[in-house]
C-alpha cells in the first residue's frame, strides 16, 4: 500500500512538470519524423537492394539506429525530476510532511523503471508501428533474437538511467548533473582510448566500462554469433546483461549511500 502512495505522489508531481511534457512530446515527435522518413524511403528506395523497413527485420534498425536516443531522453528527464527536488527544497518538505528519508528515496527510485519504460515504450510503439505499416515479412512480428535485443536494450537504458540517477542525487542540481552526465561519457571515451593503446588485453578491459556495456546492449551485432569490433570478444548477450545489471545495482547503492550521508 505504501508503495502505491509513493507512486501516486510521483505521478502527481510528473503531471505538473512542464519539462517532462516538453521532453516527452519532443521525443515522440522526433521518433515519428525519423521512423516516418525511414518508412517513406523504404517505400521509395533510392538504391537497388535497399532493405525493407518492415517487421521483424526492422527491429535491428529501430534499436541499432535512432532508438538509443530514448535512453538519453529518459536519463535527462530522470535528472530533471530527481535533482529539482533538492534544488527547490521539496525533498526536505516531503520528509517534514511525513515521509521518511528512505521512503522519499524509494519514491524517486520508482521513477527509474517508470520513465525508462515510458520512453522505451514510445520507441517500440512508434518505430514498430511505422515498420508494421511498411509490411510484414513471413514469420512472427517479434522473433526470439528480437525479444532478446529488446530486453537487452531496455536493460541498457536502465543502466544509463541509473548513472543519471546517481549524478542527480549526488550533485542535486539539474544543469550541473546533466553536464556531468555528458562529461562522464567524454572522460570514459578518452580513458578507453588511452587504455586500448596498451594492447588487445587492455582494449578488452576498456570495453567493459559501464557505458560501453550499456551501448553494446543496443547494438544488434552483439546478439549475432560473430563478434564485431566494438563487441567484447566472445561475450555472450547474457554476460552483457549480467554485467549491466551489476553496474545498475552498484550505481543505485552508491546513490543511496550518498543520499543517506547528506542532509536534505
Residue 231: pLDDT band with limits 50, 70, 90: very low
The yes-or-no verdict on residue 104 having pLDDT over 70 is: yes
Phi, psi of 136 (to 5 degrees): -140, 115
Domain borders along the chain are: 2-261
- The helices-and-strands tally (H runs, E runs) of the chain is 12, 0
Bond from prior residue into 154 cis (ω within 30 degrees of 0)? no
The burial of 205, by beta-carbon neighbours within 10 Å (0-12 exposed, 13-18 middle, 19 or more buried), is given as: middle
The pLDDT-based confidence of 232 (bands split at 50, 70, 90) is very low
Output the average pLDDT for the chain: 88
Cα gap 118→70, rounded to integer Å: 9
Using the predicted structure, report yes or no on whether residue 123 has a pLDDT greater than 80: yes
| pLDDT tier for residue 230 given thresholds of 50, 70 and 90 | very low
Highest mean pLDDT among 23-27, 130-134, 187-191: 23-27
Amino acid at each position: 500500500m505504501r508503495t502505491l502512495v509513493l507512486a501516486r505522489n510521483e505521478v502527481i508531481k510528473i503531471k505538473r512538470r512542464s519539462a517532462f511534457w516538453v521532453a516527452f512530446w519532443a521525443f515522440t515527435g522526433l521518433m515519428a519524423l525519423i521512423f516516418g522518413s525511414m518508412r517513406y524511403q523504404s517505400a521509395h528506395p533510392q538504391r537497388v537492394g535497399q532493405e525493407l523497413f518492415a517487421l521483424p527485420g526492422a527491429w535491428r534498425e529501430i534499436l541499432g539506429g535512432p532508438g538509443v536516443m530514448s535512453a538519453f531522453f529518459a536519463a535527462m528527464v530522470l535528472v530533471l525530476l530527481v535533482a529539482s527536488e533538492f534544488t527547490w527544497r521539496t525533498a526536505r518538505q516531503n520528509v517534514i510532511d511525513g515521509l521518511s528519508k528512505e521512503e522519499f528515496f524509494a519514491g524517486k527510485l520508482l521513477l527509474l523503471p517508470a520513465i525508462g519504460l515510458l520512453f522505451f515504450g514510445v520507441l517500440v510503439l512508434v518505430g514498430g508501428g511505422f515498420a508494421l505499416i511498411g509490411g510484414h515479412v513471413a514469420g512472427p512480428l517479434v522473433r526470439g533474437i528480437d525479444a532478446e535485443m529488446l530486453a537487452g536494450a531496455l536493460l541498457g537504458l536502465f543502466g544509463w538511467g541509473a548513472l543519471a540517477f546517481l549524478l542527480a542525487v549526488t550533485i542535486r542540481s539539474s544543469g550541473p548533473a546533466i553536464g556531468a552526465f555528458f562529461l562522464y561519457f567524454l572522460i570514459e571515451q578518452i580513458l578507453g582510448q588511452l587504455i586500448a593503446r596498451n594492447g588487445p588485453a587492455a582494449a578488452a578491459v576498456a570495453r567493459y566500462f559501464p557505458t560501453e556495456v550499456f551501448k553494446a546492449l543496443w547494438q544488434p551485432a552483439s546478439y549475432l554469433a560473430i563478434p564485431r569490433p566494438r563487441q567484447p570478444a566472445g561475450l555472450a548477450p547474457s554476460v552483457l546483461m549480467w554485467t549491466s545489471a551489476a553496474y545498475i545495482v552498484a550505481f543505485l547503492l552508491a546513490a543511496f549511500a550518498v543520499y543517506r550521508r547528506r542532509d536534505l
